[in-house]
Amino acid sequence: MKIFTKQTLLSLSVASLLATSLSAQHQHSSRCNAMDVFDRMLETDPNFALQRANIDEHAREFERGQHVAERNVITIPVVVHVVYNTTAQNISDAQIQSQIDVLNADFRRLNSDRTLVPAAFASLAADVEIQFCMARRDPSGNATTGITRTQTSVTGFSTNDGVKRASSGGKDPWNTSQYLNMWVCNMTGGILGYAQFPGGAAATDGVVMGHTCFGTTGTAQAPYNRGRTATHEVGHWLNLFHIWGDDGTSCTGSDQVTDTPNQADENYGCPSFPTASCSNTSDMYMNYMDYTDDACMYMFTTGQKTRMRALFAAGGSRASLATSQGCVAPTTASCGVAGSLSTTGLSTTGATLNWGAVSGATSYNVRYKATSTTTWTTTTSTTTSRAITGLTAGTAYEFQVQAVCGTTSGNFTVSSNFTTTASGTTCSDVYESNNSRTAARAIATNTNITAQIGTSTDQDWFSFSTTSTARNIRITLTGLPADYDVELYNSAGTLVGSSANGSTTSETINFNTTTTGTYFVRVFGYNGAFSSTACYTLRAATSSTNFRIGAETEEETTPKEISNVVAETAMRLYPNPARTNINLVYQSADNQQIFVNMYDALGRKVASFNQTAYQGENSYQINVEMLQKGVYLMEVSDEMGVNRKIEKFIIE
């Protein structure tokens, strides 16, 4: 191994970083101002260049295997400082949580648009194994939501770090060795956000974001309303440069990552694949570290993952975050918290609330309310259940439980929701609360059950098991009072089938498989459809023989028969015309890969991806925001190239 002295490292780093400073002057745009801040720190902080040299050498050593890699998923506590001048800038908790959700999806490669990565780059796409949580413990050890709110007289902030100081109208950071500090404010000059690279001063470490490009709801504005600006900036905070390289002119820059193609410059908007430069096959414009719109960036590479993970190896500049207790709520009481909340005996005016026992508890405080109100009704119980009456028919409620252990009390649980039976409802059971897969209610196979989607946010989860003698599955959803859809998941929580017909048309999923075990069914209203006065009928049928696509009886089907059915009703698209999303429903003759191509009216390919299809009906939601208004063709073919279907659709 070649040994570098600090003096050598410093001279190498300064030469590289000065080149970065020169190139950034003409490559800069308002999409990201991290490099402007980088250049300023080189000029004003004499220690920054040395720190950067050490960090980059550590990253190279990590790539060569000279540092022990962390094998676990790293969780980083986040505190969001909302600094606002107007009411609109004081963004909601929901908008903040939507951004954390995007970060977790993007850095764990759980983002729904990951399937859009072109085949040429698919093997490079990486789960970075870094995730984020809203802080639950503040630097003083007290419980927190991970959000601070500061009203300021400053109407807008720039990249001068003023938002990071209370003395200049902002908010001082929490301990930056234990938390990722994110400031959300009104940014001036068209700036979306900026981040501080590792190696800078602790007092200014973190990410600054404009409120109009933070999260996916509230004040977030297109085309920066999918949370990808924060993903990009956190990438800088985790030591990633722009993908085209920030240390040279066109085609000479390097992002210090070996598996990202050399490209001439940044990309904007939503390019089509391939978009080539610098003699590459295509720019990796869908990488989070380019400048494309939020809807068109959806991957990190394995090399970028290695560079980020190096920060958390022994001696890494952000290693302390991996052991931070910021995500661990403080112990506020010696009495435990109740679990396993459920509701039974639902009627139009009453319900029985149930929970698990807490060790040492002598009684329990129970509070409940309609979800549309803010006033709780409180009662007590010396057992692990409490019957309540006087409720309103067809109404959504929530309840919480607090254990009492002698003179001390535990914390109230999070809410469990239920909906009372509507007047005239004849459901066999409304099955609440079953609004998540972990709370799914077990049902018998080959038996009709009737249940209810009682509110616009209600969703019903059920579970059932298959055996070696009855392994094939058909899910039917009939008697729909509104536009309901149904999905089938395997024991790992992976979607294996779905049906999404329009209006009140019945839904059917056929899933012929050799894998036995527990399966889950999710029933939900499309766009919040519900009925508090009528029920639907669900049947989870199992059989030793394959279910025929489109047939209503349990019958063995030959491959030829399946192919005939597929050829007649292979695919359909809705809504058509479409605006932001279009749904592709495809009948597959087998478990296989399908290939989807989209062409414009001139026959030019504008998008291409492959997807797993399971025998029977499959449904995929495709984002088409990047397409201009006009007429397009969608082509779907199976992996053998035998069945090929083309349908026209319109973007309006």
pLDDT, tens digit, for every residue of 364-414? 999 999 888 878 899 999 999 999 999 988 788 889 999 998 878 888 888
Q: Confirm if 598 and 605 have CB atoms less than 8 A apart.
A: yes
CATH number of the domain enclosing 362: 2.60.40.10
Would you put residue 314 in left (φ > 0), alpha (ψ -120 to 50) or beta? beta
In the set 70, 233, 507, 617, the catalytic residue is: 233
**Considering its fold, how many domains does the chain have in total?**
4
Asked if residue 575 and residue 442 are part of one domain, the reply reads no
Last residue of a domain, one of 419, 445, 479: 419
Written as six digits, the tokens of 500 are: 């999404």
- The arithmetic mean of pLDDT across residues 171-200, rounded, is 94
Asked if residue 102 and residue 21 are part of one domain, the reply reads yes
**Whole-prediction pTM:** 0.51
Q: Which residues contact 548 (CB under 8 A, 6 or more apart)?
A: 510, 555, 557, 561, 562, 565
pLDDT in the model for residue 127: 95
Q: Which residue has the higher pLDDT, 246 or 437?
A: 437
Least confident among 46-50, 153-157, 466-470: 46-50
Give the model confidence (pLDDT) of 94-148 as tens digits: 999 999 999 999 999 999 999 999 999 999 999 999 999 999 989 988 888 999 9
SS3 state of residue 63: helix
Q: Which residue has the higher pLDDT, 558 or 204?
A: 204
CA gap 617, 402 in Å, rounded: 46
Last residue of a domain, one of 388, 419, 450: 419
Q: What confidence category does residue 149 fall into, taking pLDDT thresholds of 50, 70 and 90? A: very high
* Residue 328 covered by a domain: no
Strands, DSSP E only, in 363-443? Answer: 363-370, 377-381, 385-388, 396-405, 408-409, 416-419, 441-442
* Residue 337 covered by a domain: no
pLDDT in the model for residue 222: 93
**Per residue in 246-265, is it b (16+ CB within 10 Å) or e — as a string?**
bbbeeeebebbbeebbbbbb
Written as six digits, the tokens of 278 are: 């610098």
* Residue 335 covered by a domain: no
CATH number of the domain enclosing 274: 3.40.390.10
Asked if residue 312 and residue 177 are part of one domain, the reply reads yes
CA gap 369, 400 in Å, rounded: 9
pLDDT above 90 coverage of the chain, percent: 44
pLDDT in the model for residue 641: 60
Asked if residue 259 and residue 132 are part of one domain, the reply reads yes
Evaluate if residue 19 carries a pLDDT over 80.
no
- Residue 470: count of CB within 10 angstroms of its CB: 17
Give the model confidence (pLDDT) of 205-229 as tens digits: 999 999 999 999 999 999 999 999 9
Evaluate if residue 16 carries a pLDDT over 50.
no
- The arithmetic mean of pLDDT across residues 257-261, rounded, is 94
Least confident among 15-24, 304-313, 607-616: 15-24
Asked if residue 155 and residue 84 are part of one domain, the reply reads yes
- The arithmetic mean of pLDDT across residues 337-361, rounded, is 86
Asked if residue 160 and residue 106 are part of one domain, the reply reads yes
Strands, DSSP E only, in 454-591? Answer: 459-465, 472-478, 484-489, 495-499, 507-511, 518-525, 536-543, 571-574, 581-588
DSSP 632-647: EEEEEEETTS--EEEE
Q: What confidence category does residue 482 fall into, taking pLDDT thresholds of 50, 70 and 90? A: confident
CA atoms within 13 A on the CB side of 121: 29
Asked if residue 347 and residue 308 are part of one domain, the reply reads no
CA gap 111, 103 in Å, rounded: 9
- The arithmetic mean of pLDDT across residues 609-637, rounded, is 81
Asked if residue 450 and residue 408 are part of one domain, the reply reads no
Q: What confidence category does residue 32 fall into, taking pLDDT thresholds of 50, 70 and 90? A: low
Which residue in 401, 408, 410, 448 sits closest to 428, CA to CA? 448
Give the model confidence (pLDDT) of 546-570 as tens digits: 876 544 433 333 333 333 333 333 6
Asked if residue 272 and residue 372 are part of one domain, the reply reads no
Evaluate if residue 9 carries a pLDDT over 60.
no
Evaluate if residue 17 carries a pLDDT over 70.
no
Evaluate if residue 59 carries a pLDDT over 60.
yes
* Residue 427 covered by a domain: no
* Residue 258 covered by a domain: yes
* Residue 351 covered by a domain: yes
Asked if residue 152 and residue 279 are part of one domain, the reply reads yes
CA gap 26, 410 in Å, rounded: 59
SS3 state of residue 309: helix
Residue type, 355: W
Q: Beta strand pairing status for 342-344 and 377-381?
A: unpaired
* Residue 375 covered by a domain: yes
CATH number of the domain enclosing 527: 2.60.120.380
Asked if residue 412 and residue 530 are part of one domain, the reply reads no
Per the structure, the complete domain to which residue 378 belongs is given by 342-419
Asked if residue 316 and residue 387 are part of one domain, the reply reads no
Last residue of a domain, one of 292, 323, 354: 323
* Residue 336 covered by a domain: no
432 a catalytic residue: no
